[in-house]
Structures are given as structure tokens and as C-alpha cells.
Amino acid sequence: MKKAAILLIILFLPACGEAFSQIQVSIKARNRTTGDTITIKSVTRPHGLLAVQTDPDPQTGKAFSIPYAVLRNYRFIPENIESLWQKKILESGVYENILKSGYSYDRRYNMEELMKDYLSQAEKNNSFFIDSYLEARLYAILRKVYPVRHTDRRPGVLSLRILSNITPDAWVGPDGTMIISTGMISALNGEDELMALMAQEVAHFALDHHLVNYSNTLMAGVIPALGNLIRYSTEQELEADRCACDVLGMYGLNPSVLGSALSNVIAFGELMGNYYLGTTTGFFPDAATRAVSYSGKVSEISADFDKLIAPVISYNAYSAYNQSQYLLCRRLLERNIASGEASADEMVLLSQAMMNLSGSDAGDEEALAVIRSVTTGMTAPPTVAFKQEALLLMRMGRFSDAGNTLHRYEEALSGDEQMYRSMPGDQSRMLEYLASEKEWVARTLKR
């Protein structure tokens, strides 16, 4: 549908005019002096000044208006996640901006188009990690954090996609799509930390930080790009932190969970050699300082969480190894071992990472113990496990043992050749690889 047509439909929505005169809410508040409790039912802006309308009085049947400045005499009492966010949005000035200037559909449409382009390109590049069960669990957390849609009728539907990337990252686009990387999921210790992270990122969506950044970019004479919209100021990050802590409080969780999440993100980045992840210009601006603000007991790794994210940890481990991030690879695989989810192939990968990290005989022995838990501890170990064992033995100068292991590797390669020859379809590439490996064995035995 063309942009003009969409805007035309928006303009002729029946309730559109009403939306600019008042915004429906449901927030309880208690007078600090009298103790009287009221229910705020709408936010208005009569005579250019923000005010709220209450529920009708039980005795008189009349509703009354309270100027926003007078609300300082009341303490808000959010009863659910919707009323909590309505309180935060009211305090942030978003409602006042809507009542003053409207919904800014034009700019919101342009922002959503930028997000659509990003999602489309990511789909073409197969950049999303697909795990239906994990997504279902993540959605369950997300729905605790924020409603599916804004209750004030701003555009946007809150959803999520998992990005295949080992760098910890998470953000919510202007259309409500949360992007969370596999690296971020692996960086955290449990679902409580995920909730804290989601709440912090959703706060930017709830508080219209995208629209603020879009407008500021235009004022600076710069053509807005998606990166401009999700690059938040320190003030915006701190405001989002406070929202996240309030969300955690709704579920009886301590704000230190947010501090723990931020600390784990920084630590994960350091394992990658990424020391600027939590700096002012990093993905998580001033994360170290912010983490200290919510310091406390650091969340322990949840075994159930690690079982849930085992496929993500495995994916990240292989990605880390391929990018020469051997320390990160080792730490990830050790988490899968601890949760009982490590496969034989992952044990081989762990031995390879340990070998590449080792600079001592003790380190080589440790890597050898890992690989031998596969070659001697399994009835049908992966073929490549014998090659890894042989490489370690040769590196350690144990050439006689290495020769025996190389013969076992050669036998396993022959067994694989028979298997692939019996398979239907074109298996030529695999057979060529197996033949080249057998040639490597022959050359190595001569050395």
C-alpha cells in the first residue's frame, strides 16, 4: 500500500480526533495527606496544561480533573504491568506530547519503513536463528514485560527475532520488533536477567525514544537511519534502566538483576577481546557505571536456562572458534558440559580450542584428556576425534602413540567412505574430502 493511501486511512479513522483530546489509562493513586485513593481514567490537556480525569466519585457520580502539577501529592499504585507502564509514560511526557502534537504518523511510518528494510535484508542473508521452543520461552518473558501493543494507540506491535551473532546485542526497533542476538542470550545467566534486559530495551520503545531521536536527527540536518534511532543518549539509557527496575519489582525481583545482566554482558565482551562494548560509544553505553548503580548479588547460572539455550551456546561456540575466539569458545562449551548438554562433536571442538590456547605441557595434557573422553569413552566416536588426538600426541612428541591413533583415523575414514558410497544422491564432495584426509594420514605417517 502506498504511503499516501496509508496516511489517508489514518486521517479518516473515526476515533482519531478523540485520541488527541484524551488518552485512556487506568492508574490508581493515593493522596499522601488524606490517604484517599483515586483511579485515573484518562489524561487530558485542557487549556494547554496537562491534567488527569478520575473515575466518577461513588457518592456524587461525578468525575473530577486534577492538574498534573498537583499529582505530586499522590503516590501512584500500579496494580499490573499495563498500569505500571502507563505511569512511566505519563511521567516521561509522552502523553503530553501526543495530546499536544498528535501521533506523528508521518514520522512513525518512515521509522517503520527503515525497520522493514533491516528485517528484509536480514531475512535475505539468513541472519536469524530459528528455534521455535526458545522463541516461545522468550515470548513468555516479553509478554510479562509489556503489552502486545501500546495502550494509548500509538503504532507498533511488540515481537522478537533472534539474530545469529556472537556479539551481545539487543534492541527494539521503532515498529516494536525486539532484536536479540545469540551472543546476548549466551551472555546472561538466566531468565530473570533476560527479563531485566528486555524491560530495559522495551522502555526505549515505550517512552518514544525512537521518535525523539528521529526528530533530533532531522533538526541536525541529517537523513535519519535506523542506527540514529537506536543510538540512545546517557539520559535515555538511565531512564530505561529505572523502568526496567520497576518492572523487576512488579515480579518481586531485585534491581541487582539488571546490574548482574549488564556485568555479564561486559564480561562476555571481554572474553571476545571487545573491551569497548560497555563504553560510551559501545552497544551498551556506560554499562559498567550503570551496573554499579544496581550492584548486589550477582545472579548464578541457571541449569534449566542453560539446558534451554544449549543449541544457542553450541552455535556461538562454533562461531567463536571460526573467528579464532578460542577462550570464548571454551567457556561456552564448558557451560554445555556443566548442564549435561554437550555432544561428542562439541567435546572435540573443546579439545581443539584448548589446544590452540595451550602454551604448556599441562595444557596439552588437559586437552588430551578431553579428546580421549571421546575416543576411548564412546563406542562410535566422531571420526575427526582421532585426528584431534593424533595432533595433540604429535605436538607432545609422543609419535608412537600418534601413529596408532592415525591408523584408527584412517580406519574410521574408510568406514565413512563405505557409508557415503551407499547413500543415494551425489556424495562426490564428501568422498573427495575423505580421500584427501586419507592422503593427509599417509603423508603424516611418513613424517
The model's pLDDT over 8-48, given as tens digits with 9 standing for 90+, comes to 434 444 334 344 689 999 999 999 999 999 999 999 999 89
Q: What is the dihedral of CA 11, 17, 22, 23, to 10 degrees?
A: -30
Supply the CATH classification number for the domain 343-446: 1.25.40
What whole-number distance in Å separates Cα of residue 95 and Cα of residue 436?
A: 68
pLDDT of residue 21: 86
Residue 197 scores a pLDDT above 90: yes
Question: Over the chain, what is the mean pLDDT?
Answer: 93
What whole-number distance in Å separates Cα of residue 248 and Cα of residue 296?
A: 14
Average pLDDT over residues 337-358: 97
Q: Of 235, 234, 217, nearest to 226 (Cα)?
A: 217
121 pLDDT tier (thresholds 50, 70, 90): very high
Crossing angle for the helix pair 105-124 and 3-11, to the nearest 10 degrees: 140
| Cβ–Cβ under 8 Å, residues 169 and 179 | yes
- 3-class SS of residue 39: strand
Q: Of 154, 178, 135, nearest to 309 (Cα)?
A: 135
Residue 131 scores a pLDDT above 80: yes
Q: What kind and span of H or E run contains 159?
A: strand 159-163
DSSP 12: T
| Cβ–Cβ under 8 Å, residues 317 and 349 | yes
Q: Are strands 177-181 and 159-163 parallel, antiparallel or unpaired?
A: parallel
Phi, psi of 52 (to 5 degrees): -125, 150
Average pLDDT over residues 123-144: 98
Q: Are strands 22-31 and 37-44 parallel, antiparallel or unpaired?
A: antiparallel
**Could you give the percent of the chain with pLDDT greater than 90?**
84
DSSP 67: E
Amino acid at 312: V
pLDDT of residue 12: 41
Residue 7 scores a pLDDT above 60: no
Sheet of 170-172, strand order: 159-163, 177-181, 170-172
Where do the structural domains in the chain lie, given as residue ranges? 21-77, 105-293, 343-446
Cα separations in angstroms, 351 against 94, 124, 268, 348, 389: 54, 35, 21, 5, 9
pLDDT of residue 150: 97
202 pLDDT tier (thresholds 50, 70, 90): very high
Residue 1 scores a pLDDT above 50: no
What whole-number distance in Å separates Cα of residue 25 and Cα of residue 405?
A: 72
What whole-number distance in Å separates Cα of residue 216 and Cα of residue 214?
A: 5
- 3-class SS of residue 405: helix
Q: Of 172, 153, 106, nearest to 184 (Cα)?
A: 172
Residue 329 scores a pLDDT above 60: yes
- Predicted TM-score (pTM) of the model is 0.90
Crossing angle for the helix pair 310-322 and 326-338, to the nearest 10 degrees: 160
DSSP 376: T
Average pLDDT over residues 188-216: 97
Stated length of the chain: 447
278 pLDDT tier (thresholds 50, 70, 90): confident
